[in-house]
Structure 1
Amino acid sequence: MYIIPAIDILNGKVVRLREGDYEQATFYGVTLEEMIEKYQSKGTEFIHIIDLNGAKGDFSNQKFLFDIINKSEIKVQYGGGVRSIEKVKELIDLGIHRVIVGTQAITNPEFLKDLSSQICGTEKCSDQIVVAIDVLDEVIKYSGWMESSPIKLMEYVDRCLDLGFFRFLCTDINKDGKLGGASVELYQKLLDHSPFIKLIASGGISSMADIEDLQKIKVESCVVGKAIYENRISIDEIKAWNLKALISF
């Protein structure tokens, strides 16, 4: 299992939200460029960046973000307001390693089908596209976690699998930003339903013990953000874990 450090950006600054609430943002005294340099110098090859402005349809951060990303060789998993085929194409052309799609995939039944046929095809979709599933008490939420989808969780997973999408970023909203531990039971249910999916766990991770719990149920990777900024997990620990994971792989 691989640990992916997370960097959330709001108004050009590094932040972490609590339960996705923009009114509960913690701003950190470090820049995106400094964080990328720190991760890369410690041997991290892959990071997770969310443009929180983009998630609300404001792409004012994008030039700033990509000026910095393009200076680095680090691979980026990127999300935030990706709601059109054209935006996915643009991000891939800009060198983004994986693009995260969420709201549009839920609200537009044709979006994933078009994405599969126009961008990646059924064999490559899991390499380039990550389907975000944000869950509150097993109800799928979207549009900044303000709206609820009538689609059942496992039904949605099956729909994505049928179109060739096998990599999912699952966030338990109840856990997000609270450092109260990962939602192991939720991830176990998903893996019991579809053991072959590539599952990325997100939300609540507070310690290396939480990461060990996730490894036991065989999630592919996990996203860690606040625990790093709050000094619960060090970058050196992430480096050591990821090196061991790559050797084991």
Structure 2
Amino acid sequence: MYIIPAIDILNKKVVRLREGDYQQVTQYDVSLEEMIERYQSNGTELIHIIDLNGAKSDFSNQQYLFDVIKKTDMKIQYGGGIRSIDKVKELTDAGIFRVIVGTQAITNPTFLDELSKTMCGANKCSDQIVVAIDVLDEVIKYSGWMESSPIKLMDYVDRCLQLGFYRFLCTDINKDGKMGGAGIDLYKKLLEHSPFIKLIASGGVSSMQDIEQLSKIKVESCVVGKAIYENRITIEDVKNWNLNALTTM
């Protein structure tokens, strides 16, 4: 298992939300460019960038984000406001390592089918497409976590698998931004239901002990943001963990 440092952007500022609530924002006195440079200089090759404006269908951040991303040779896992197949192709063609799809996959009944036909080949979906599942008490949320889906969690996972998608970014909203530990129980349920999915855990990680717990249940990776900004997990910790993960694979 490896750690993916997270950078959330709202109004061109580096922030973190609590439980996905745009009224509970912590803003950090550092730019996106500076955060990318910090990670790059410490040996991290993959980072997770979310456009929180885009998640609410406000695309005022996009050009800024694309301009910054184009200047780095880091591998980028990118999400927020991706509403069309053309946008997915634009991002992958531009060199984005992984594209996260969320709201559109929930609200548009044909989106995942069309994306599968367009993007899936021999293992291609797993490498380039990440399906976001944002969960509050086993209810799937979307549109910046402001809307609830009637689709049952495990039914949604099964449908994605049938279409060739098997890398999932699962955020436990109950845990997100609280620094109270990761959603171990939720991730266990997902992995017991579908042991072969590639699961990226997100939300609540506050210490290296949380990282160790996630590693034990065999998630593929975890996203860490606030814990790094608030020095509960250092960038050196991330580097050392990921180097060790590489040597023990």
TM-score, normalised to structure 1, is 0.98
1:103 is aligned with what amino acid?
T
1:12 is aligned with what amino acid?
K
1:189-248 CA distance string (max 9 Å, x none): 000000000000000000000000000000000000000011100000000000000111
SS in 1 for 2:120: helix
**1:105 counterpart residue number:** 105
**1:217 and 2:217 aligned:** yes
2:243 is aligned with what amino acid?
L
**Where does the alignment leave 5 or more consecutive residues of structure 2 unmatched?**
none
Take 1:47 and 1:99, find their aligned partners in 2: how far apart are those partners? 12
2:98 is aligned with what amino acid?
R
Indicate conservation of the 8 Å contact 1:122/1:165, yes or no: no
Count of residue correspondences: 249
Take 1:139 and 1:122, find their aligned partners in 2: how far apart are those partners? 32
**Where does the alignment leave 5 or more consecutive residues of structure 1 unmatched?**
none
Indicate conservation of the 8 Å contact 2:79/2:101, yes or no: yes
2:127 is aligned with what amino acid?
D
Take 1:178 and 1:67, find their aligned partners in 2: how far apart are those partners? 31
1:150-182 CA distance string (max 9 Å, x none): 111111100000000000000011111000000
1:13-40 CA distance string (max 9 Å, x none): 1000001111111100000000000000
Take 1:148 and 1:95, find their aligned partners in 2: how far apart are those partners? 32
* Percent of aligned positions that are identical: 79
Take 1:142 and 1:33, find their aligned partners in 2: how far apart are those partners? 28
TM-score, normalised to structure 2, is 0.98
SS in 1 for 2:123: helix
Point out 4+ residue stretches in structure 1 off by more than 2 angstroms: 119-123
2:3 is aligned with what amino acid?
I
Indicate conservation of the 8 Å contact 1:116/1:122, yes or no: no
Which segment is superposed worse, 107-116 or 177-186?
107-116
Which segment is superposed worse, 224-233 or 100-109?
100-109
Shift of 1:122: 6.2
SS in 2 for 1:121: coil
Shift of 1:123: 2.9
Q: How does 1:77-92 map to 2 (within 5 A)?
A: 77-92=77-92
Indicate conservation of the 8 Å contact 1:2/1:242, yes or no: yes
CA RMSD of aligned residues (A): 0.9
